[in-house]
Amino acid sequence: MNPTNNGVLWLSNKNCALFLSRVRSQIDMALQPIVDVRNGRTMAYESLVRNTADIGFSSIVDFFQHAHDHDVLFELEVELQRKAVAAFCQANPPPGARLFINLDARLSNHMIKFCAELEKSLAKCRLEPGQLCVELSKSNQNLNGPALEDQVGALRSRGFRVAVDDYGAGSAGLRMLYQGSPDFVKIDRFFVAGMEADARKRLFVSSVVDLAHTLGVSVIGEGVETEAELKCCRESRCDLVQGYFIARPTQLYSDLNASYDHVAAASQQPIHVLHDDEIRIQIEPYEVLPASASLLQVLKLFRCHPHQTVIPIVDGNGEPRGVIREVDIKPFLHSPFGRDLLSNRAAGITLASFLRSIPAAESSSSLPHLVETYQDRLQEGVLVTQDRKYSGFLPANALVKIINNMRLSEARGANPLTKLPGNDRILEFIDNSCMQGSSERLFCYFDFDHFKPFNDVYGFGIGDRAIIMFRDIIAHEMAGTGIFYGHIGGDDFFAGAVGDACSDLAAMLTRVRETFAHSVSSLYTLSDRERGYIEAAGRDGQSACWPLMTCSVGVLRALPGSTCAGVDGVTRTLASLKKKAKTMPGGIFEVTLTRGEVTTAPQAVCSAA
């Protein structure tokens, strides 16, 4: 910072009163919406400081550093949060919306006093503490464990929400997620930028989402600037998104919308919802209590509803904060002075003392993914939400029953040799993909070359080893990428993708072929490898020389807006393409469907890639 820049010589001396006066008169707050990734509804606004250059600061970092160096950081943060709350009220936010504010970690020693100032500002605008979320950024990662827990505890005890900002940008993000017990995690922009073209970024984001959801934490994809990034955030199961693609930060609060139609339009695609007949009957409509309830109300509810082992706790918007478990409060019920202790405010025991975070799942969650994610926490059950509001509870025994049924169903539909999805599930995937005409789709049929003579010479035991080898190769390439893969039978395999995963699958095909050709050669004898062929009878009974095994791939690409003529049309076309691929030098033959319907004569409606 150049203190004489723009003629603001006052910055070179320690006139703190003048600094704060300039902050009050010249610094403004911009608001940027945070929206539901599925429907574009505005769920929150983040407040962002503007006009710091007008009072002589070249960066926002210099602005806060100046306040810290001159011992007015607390006064600055108080003034900024007042401006943020006032801006939020002027924006006329939709019902249930929250305000996200950033807090400098260097205020940790003043947290109780700062919380009192927050409460004053909210009360002035008739807002509840639960409508404000404090973001803990990378600077907070320097706090040791107890200091971080004290900071979060001071916020939570007053009903404020907590978010971890820039997750993944620092080395202590996991520690903050564990010790901070936040309500929200914001994925750093680095991992969101260009994630449609980076499988590793998508894997990272999906893994963070799974971890956060298991801990009962909602995830915000930050810095979304393109439709492709929005779709990737949705496919990675982020809950909320924020960024220039949705709306830029603005000081013209009338420009802010209650919902953003272009987000909803980009997110429209069929999904397997949790509320299907398979488990709807398992969801229990447990009675809930507000976060403001007393412990005596908790005891009364357990007494009136003895079948409930937990009580979901919700905030003023109906969103779950966690649960009170009967097992945790039982010792007070059986203690001679337990009830008196719980009703004595001087004892300092509150509802928050028993509040426990457990997994929560939107009703639009995929059932298989839900089970896979939460299977290690089944004993706690899962809170079910509809549009982020509490709608029911899945008890542990119900989850166990659902998992057992699902695994039995998977076992019936799996290939007995490879344990990969078999024909039923492959056909189901193709059928579902055909209905997603607004997205790109890619269907791939893998078939070994020269497998029969190999099997005849080396026996079916070694032949099965070749099949298992190919399974391991595609599993290594495709697991966790959003690509579906299965085993048709014998030496035939299938892989398919929808949306952004299509480009990943296409890039894998040559690599899969080359890896298989190299690996499968180890199953031949040294002499056969050196010759490069084996001698065996063909289907006509005549002896012939057969090259070492490779694999061919028939590929059908259906661009957005094209129409697939159902499962039969796709499978017939793939069979034709697979035969054509065996005559191609590279072993891969792809056609692209741009309009019309898939037929068994793909050259008539598709152009060869």
The pLDDT assigned to 455 comes to: 92
The pLDDT assigned to 350 comes to: 80
Higher-pLDDT residue of 66 and 265 is 66
pLDDT in tens, 538-551: 777 788 999 999 99
Q: How far is CA 496 from the centre of its chain?
A: 21
Gap between the Cα atoms of 356 and 20, Å rounded: 41
Contact 353, 328 (CB under 8 A): no
Q: pLDDT tier at 452 (50, 70, 90 boundaries)?
A: very high
The pLDDT assigned to 517 comes to: 94
Q: pLDDT tier at 278 (50, 70, 90 boundaries)?
A: low
> 144: part of which helix (H) or strand (E)?
none
pLDDT in tens, 14-61: 678 888 999 999 999 999 999 999 889 999 999 999 999 998 898 998
- Categorise residue 419: left if φ over 0, alpha if ψ from -120 to 50, beta otherwise: left
Angle ∠(396,402,403) on CA atoms, nearest 5: 90
Share of the chain above pLDDT 70, in %: 86
The pLDDT assigned to 171 comes to: 54
Angle ∠(571,577,581) on CA atoms, nearest 5: 140
Rounded average pLDDT over 397-402: 77
Strand 289-290 and strand 310-314: pairing? parallel
pLDDT in tens, 365-374: 655 566 666 6
The pLDDT assigned to 257 comes to: 93
The pLDDT assigned to 277 comes to: 57
The pLDDT assigned to 176 comes to: 74
Higher-pLDDT residue of 276 and 422 is 422
Give me the helices (H) in 238-385, please: 261-267, 277-280, 295-304, 326-333, 338-343, 367-374
The helix, strand and coil proportions of the chain, stated in percent and rounded to the nearest 5, come to 50, 20, 30
Gap between the Cα atoms of 304 and 163, Å rounded: 36
Contact 43, 36 (CB under 8 A): yes
- Going along the chain from its start, the domains and CATH numbers come out as 5-267 (3.20.20.450), 277-406 (3.10.580.10), 414-608 (3.30.70.270)
Rounded average pLDDT over 421-442: 89
The pLDDT assigned to 217 comes to: 87
- The yes-or-no verdict on residue 272 having pLDDT over 80 is no
Q: Could you give phi then psi for residue 262, rounded to 5 degrees?
A: -70, -25
- The yes-or-no verdict on residue 608 having pLDDT over 60 is no
The pLDDT assigned to 50 comes to: 94
Count the neighbouring beta carbons within 10 Å of the beta carbon of residue 597: 13
Q: How much is the mean pLDDT over the chain?
A: 84
As given in the structure block, the two tokens for residue 495 are: 């892989």
pLDDT in tens, 304-349: 998 898 999 998 888 888 899 988 888 877 777 777 777 777 767 7
